[in-house]
């Protein structure tokens, strides 16, 4: 039933890894890119709205410069990406144009999702491009990104983009054909998991490391991306990029790859930013009663009485994580008090806040309208 819903998907984000569009030596795999462009162009013609998140700039740069491997230092990596990005974009522009499609380069950094106005501008730009029938080709702006503002991998970038554009499905094409019960390279009896109804800590522990020397993301980054996408009401599929024809199979509802099933409808744009765009400045640790209320009700305000501890120093009005006593994240929200104030009133009843602080901003430390359940 969940697979059948994919056949109705209209707006689709496709992420291709370095191993999908380059050979192990970093040289461009023109055959795969040409087939990818042809199939995406055909899907666009059939009424879908396509967004491509492409890795490979660094690998292509390494290949063009005839290096044996990626540089170890950040300036070297960024310089390789600078060389490769232009080459890769030229290839996409030329091949998509052969099938009557126009593409646009969109380079993002984490900073573009941290600021509310930048986030809104990115969303509006994507919307206009899709309205014009243009296929956005997205990558992280590796040339200027610094560690503090790096998204780090294009699996998570694709999930963030899917949230920005309100996509119906995010498809990760990689050198693996899905999530297995164990590492299939070392466990021949490992089974492919066709559908994941819920991402549990046990499932996250099952995720392995990086698959190929040109890639940066292992299965764990794909699980993280699935959490981001699913929490925004977006389905995510992991499938092999060996043959781009798999895209048609997925969008027919065929049982290929691993489908991660969302359980909520799309969050409002503001709450998407709140959950996954805004920088998390600290954490509130809540008691078992509030934890239970959050899980059962789906959303409720965070009152001082249910808070057991505060982590970090932060101002009012920023985004913080809400976690249980074991540190598992339950929600994210905008706080009405700063960390110092919350430490003074945690565990107190609402009626006691004014006597402790000498004033009261609101009854709630986080109002339910400014809270997103993770």
Q: Is 221 annotated as a binding residue?
A: yes
The two structure tokens encoding residue 177: 């054909």
Q: Is 142 annotated as a binding residue?
A: yes
Those residues with Cβ within 8 angstroms of residue 131's Cβ, 6 or more apart along the chain or in another chain: none
Q: Is 168 annotated as a binding residue?
A: no
Count, in order, helices (H) and strands (E) of the chain.
15, 15
Q: Is 40 annotated as a binding residue?
A: no
Q: Is 265 annotated as a binding residue?
A: no
Q: Is 212 annotated as a binding residue?
A: no
Classify residue 317 as left (phi > 0), alpha (psi -120 to 50) or beta. left
Q: Which residue has the tokens 């305000």?
A: 301
Q: Strand pairing of 179-180 and 192-193?
A: antiparallel
The two structure tokens encoding residue 6: 């994919």
Q: Which of 44, 66, 262, 76 is nearest to 169 (CA)?
A: 262
Q: Is 326 annotated as a binding residue?
A: no
Q: Is 216 annotated as a binding residue?
A: yes
Per residue in 303-340, is it b (16+ CB within 10 Å) or e — as a string? bbbbbeebeeebeeebbbbbbbeeeeebbbbbbbbbbe
Q: Is 128 annotated as a binding residue?
A: no
Query: What span, in angstroms and rounded, lies between the C-alpha atoms of 202 and 216?
Result: 23
Q: Is 222 annotated as a binding residue?
A: yes
Continuous segment of H or E residues that includes residue 66: none
Query: What span, in angstroms and rounded, lies between the C-alpha atoms of 171 and 70?
Result: 26
Q: Is 220 annotated as a binding residue?
A: yes
Q: Is 370 annotated as a binding residue?
A: no
Checking 30-37 for CB contacts under 8 A at 24+ apart, the result is 30/91, 32/241, 32/244, 33/91, 33/92, 33/95, 34/95, 35/243, 35/244, 35/245, 36/244, 37/92, 37/95, 37/96, 37/98, 37/99, 37/101
Q: Is 219 annotated as a binding residue?
A: yes
The two structure tokens encoding residue 284: 């509130």
Query: What span, in angstroms and rounded, lies between the C-alpha atoms of 13 and 138?
Result: 10
The two structure tokens encoding residue 214: 């040109």
Q: What residues pair up with 237 in beta bridges, in sequence order? A: 171, 259
Q: Which positions make up the binding site?
A: 15, 55, 142, 154, 174-175, 216-222
The annotated binding site for substrate is made up of 55, 142, 154
Instruction: Detail the residues annotated as belonging to a binding site for ATP.
Output: 15, 174-175, 216-222
């Amino acid at each position: 039933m969940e697979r059948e819903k994919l056949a109705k998907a209209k707006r689709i984000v496709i992420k291709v890894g370095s191993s999908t569009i380059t050979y192990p030596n970093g040289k461009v795999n023109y055959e795969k890119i040409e087939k990818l462009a042809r199939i995406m162009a055909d899907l666009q013609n059939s009424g879908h709205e396509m967004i491509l998140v492409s890795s490979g700039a660094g690998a292509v740069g390494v290949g063009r410069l005839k290096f044996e491997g990626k540089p170890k230092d950040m300036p070297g990596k960024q310089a390789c990406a600078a060389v490769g990005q232009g080459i890769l974009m030229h290839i996409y522009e030329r091949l998509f144009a052969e099938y009557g499609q126009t593409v646009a380069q969109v380079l993002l950094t984490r900073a573009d999702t941290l600021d509310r106005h930048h986030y809104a501008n990115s969303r509006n730009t994507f919307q206009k491009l899709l309205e014009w029938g243009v296929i956005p080709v997205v990558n992280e702006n590796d040339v200027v990104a610094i560690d503090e503002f790096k998204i780090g991998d294009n699996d998570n970038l694709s999930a963030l983009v899917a949230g920005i554009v309100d996509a119906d499905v995010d498809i990760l094409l990689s050198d693996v054909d899905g999530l297995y019960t164990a590492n299939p390279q070392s466990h021949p009896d490992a089974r492919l998991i066709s559908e994941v109804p819920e991402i549990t800590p046990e499932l996250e522990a099952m995720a392995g490391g990086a698959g190929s020397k040109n890639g940066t993301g292992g299965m764990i980054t794909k699980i993280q991306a699935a959490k981001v996408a699913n929490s925004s009401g977006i389905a995510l599929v992991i499938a092999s990029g060996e043959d781009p024809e798999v895209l048609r199979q997925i969008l027919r509802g065929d049982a290929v790859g691993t489908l991660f099933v969302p359980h909520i409808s799309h969050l409002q744009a503001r709450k998407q930013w709140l959950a996954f765009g805004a920088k998390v400045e600290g954490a509130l640790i809540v008691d078992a009663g509030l934890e239970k209320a959050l899980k059962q009700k789906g959303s409720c305000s965070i009152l001082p009485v249910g808070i057991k501890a505060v982590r970090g120093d932060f101002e009012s009005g920023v985004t913080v994580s809400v976690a249980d006593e074991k540190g598992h994240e339950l929600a994210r929200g905008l706080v009405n008090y700063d960390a110092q104030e919350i430490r003074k009133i945690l565990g107190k009843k609402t009626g006691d806040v004014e006597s402790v602080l000498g004033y009261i901003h609101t009854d709630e430390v986080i109002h339910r309208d400014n809270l997103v359940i993770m």
